[in-house]
């Protein structure tokens, strides 16, 4: 993970975050030194998860053992093509007879990864 941050820096980007699976973050938080002290923080304190000065976001979008780091703001742009659209109708199937309504919601978005070098992915295992 630290070498991934180095790779981002060598691509001339300043990393601003790390994402990884919650199981991996729990494993990191539970690491102890030879004297039984937690390495990454005190379990009695509530603090934003951080490694090497960067916020860590545990997310289920990764499989266990996978991580991503980089400059998320510089790497990608989210384009919003259409506002939320919510339609409600009683004219679907037997809805009118049954006194039911059908609801349809839609949103049109596009995510463009303009600077792929600003994001680095990888994996690790714990011994």
Question: Which is nearest to 20 in space by CA: 46, 50, 40, 41?
Answer: 50
pLDDT digits (tens, 9 = 90+) for 2-47: 888 998 999 999 999 999 999 888 888 888 889 888 887 667 777 7
pLDDT at 81 over 60: yes
Q: Are 54 and 16 in contact (CB under 8 A)?
A: yes
C-alpha span between 40 and 101 (Å, rounded): 52
Contact 59, 99 (CB under 8 A): no
The CATH classification number of 2-76+114-123 equals 3.30.2320.10
Q: Give the pTM.
A: 0.67
The span from the CA of 9 to the CA of 15, in Å, is 7
Residue 98: pLDDT band (50, 70, 90) is confident
User: Distance between CA atoms of 40 and 28, rounded to whole angstroms?
Assistant: 7
**How far is residue 34 from each of residues 38, 43, 108, measured CA to CA in Å?**
10, 17, 52
Element (H, E) at 80: strand 76-89
């Amino acid at each position: 993970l630290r070498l991934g941050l180095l790779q981002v820096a060598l691509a001339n980007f300043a990393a601003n975050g790390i994402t990884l699976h919650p199981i991996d973050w729990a494993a990191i938080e539970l690491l102890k030194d030879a004297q039984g002290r937690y390495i990454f923080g005190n379990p009695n304190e509530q603090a934003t998860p951080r490694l090497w000065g960067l916020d860590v976001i545990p997310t289920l979008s990764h499989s266990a053992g996978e991580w991503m780091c980089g400059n998320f703001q510089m790497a990608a742009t989210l384009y919003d093509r259409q506002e939320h659209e919510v339609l409600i109708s009683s004219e679907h199937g037997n809805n009118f007879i049954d006194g039911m309504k059908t609801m349809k919601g839609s949103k049109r978005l596009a995510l463009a990864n303009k600077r792929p070098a600003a994001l680095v992915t990888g994996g690790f295992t714990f011994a």
